[in-house]
Amino acid sequence: MSTIERTLISQLLDALSGYRLEPGRALLAAYSGGPDSTALLELLYRAKLKGLLTRNISALYVNHHLRSQSELSQELQFVESYCSRRSIPLTAVDLGEQAVYTRCSECGESVEEAARILRYEALEHYCDQEAVLTAHTRDDQVETLLMRVFSGSGIEGLTGIPEQREPFYRPLIHTPKSMLMQFLEEQGITFSNDSTNRTGVYLRNQLREIIPEISRVFPGFQRALDALQQKMTWAEASFPSQTPVPECVKPVYGGGGIEFPLSWFCSCAPYERMMRLYEFWNRYLKSDSLPLPFDSIKPFLLWCEAGCPEDVTPVFDVFQGIIEVKGDRVLWKRAVAQKEKKGYLKAVAEGDTRLFGGVYLCVRESDRFTPETLGLVQDEISPPLVVRSFKAGDMMISTGGRKAVSKLFSDWKVPRSMRWMIPVIEDRRGIQAVLGSAFGYHDRAAAIHTRTIEGHEQYLLMSLEIIGSEN
């Protein structure tokens, strides 16, 4: 047994021992065929082979249908062959071609988030009292914390990926990915490669491109993130918002709203007030899986923080509803039939503009342009510049000539039910860009903006951010 194999198996067994699993409880490994999950399954297999692990092990593979059929077929063949050679029982779950996209359209989630939720639902559905092991590494933890820092997450989100939350366990969460890659290379173990990991389609992949620069400027940033995560874990465990909802908080309007005393609410600490609003949203008012944007509740929270000044009319527009104060009575009412409206129209301005839910258009001016960034040449824009939802009949002039946006969506395999979400950028002359990358598709600019010009050109750089709330 090599040094790195001995070290990794020891770390794996120590982690499993620390979880205090019931004697004889079997292990189900989430297996994608990629390097991390292959390393996890191989370490489990070798530990059992050497008599160091007595628990039964099996694997589960999930097909999300987010890549080409030929790539997915090759991946499934690899996964089946790997498990067969080691006599590891395998369950292959097919979510269906439109499952992820349907969830995106119904819940307003990104493709990444929808796929993750469906994958975990499949793991939980197919596990039969087993402990489910995932192959998250320290690198995954660092990326998650960075994304949540940049998204303005609160205490709960900054606790990062939990090492254990029944029935899920992550025994490699403190192990660098480089150690797993070294182990696979040293042992000559092959794995499957996901082609989307080599593109900038998903936010996590884009983040990986800038981590080396973050490391250059802040050499100890990973240790600092470890400390931040531990502090936030302690803070979450002691935070008073984890207590039951008080009896003074009552559903009203047949479940379409809630009421609570203003005096009680203002007696809470500022952070607890915010967390209470998220709690009320999730428990009483949420009609889909869209998060409650912080900017939506910020005016009400600031009004409370200022001592509830009487010169301000105490009626606040919040996401999918209103908060109204009448004396000591706070009424939070959900908007009627809000789901029927599927569309938006906003002026494009520098900074962040909320389009719907937690989806923001981020715009900034720059004199630099790279092919990886969607940039519009400012001199080629005929104001007013607006961002809006897709409409039937939309056309844009791309490098290949005049093309219907609906045909573009068909090429990208965007379900009709979610096309309204993808932003269209338009000025007086027509459509200048379509932004689909945040939903797992692509960004496309009109032909006049795709040329790279040296000199003093100014650009409007555009991107989408899907920002969570309490997480």
Report the topology of domain 3-237. Answer: Rossmann fold (3.40.50)
Exposed (0-12), middle (13-18) or buried (19+): which is 469, by Cβ within 10 Å? buried
- The tens-digit pLDDT sequence of the chain (471 residues) is 889 999 999 999 999 999 999 999 999 999 999 999 999 999 999 999 999 999 999 999 999 988 888 889 999 999 999 999 999 999 999 998 888 877 776 666 667 788 889 999 999 999 888 999 999 999 999 999 998 888 788 888 889 999 999 999 999 999 999 999 999 999 999 999 887 766 555 677 778 888 999 999 999 899 999 999 999 888 877 765 456 778 899 988 777 789 999 999 999 989 889 888 988 888 888 766 567 888 889 999 999 999 999 887 788 888 878 899 989 999 998 765 444 446 788 888 888 888 887 788 888 888 776 656 678 888 788 777 888 888 888 888 866 667 889 888 888 888 887 888 899 998 877 888 899 888 888 888 887 776 544 444 677 888 887 765 444
Q: What is the predicted pLDDT for the residue at 200?
A: 54
Rg, C-alpha atoms of the chain: 25
Q: Identify whether the C-beta of residue 40 lies closer than 8 Å to the C-beta of residue 135.
A: yes
Q: What is the pLDDT of residue 176?
A: 94
> For the chain, what is the total number of helices (H) and then of strands (E)?
13, 22
Q: Which of 370, 395, 392 is CA-nearest to residue 461?
A: 370
Q: What per-residue confidence (pLDDT) applies to 123? A: 94
CA dihedral 156, 110, 286, 134 (to 10 degrees): -50
CA distance 100 to 115: 6
What pLDDT, on the 0 to 100 scale, is given for residue 446?
Answer: 82
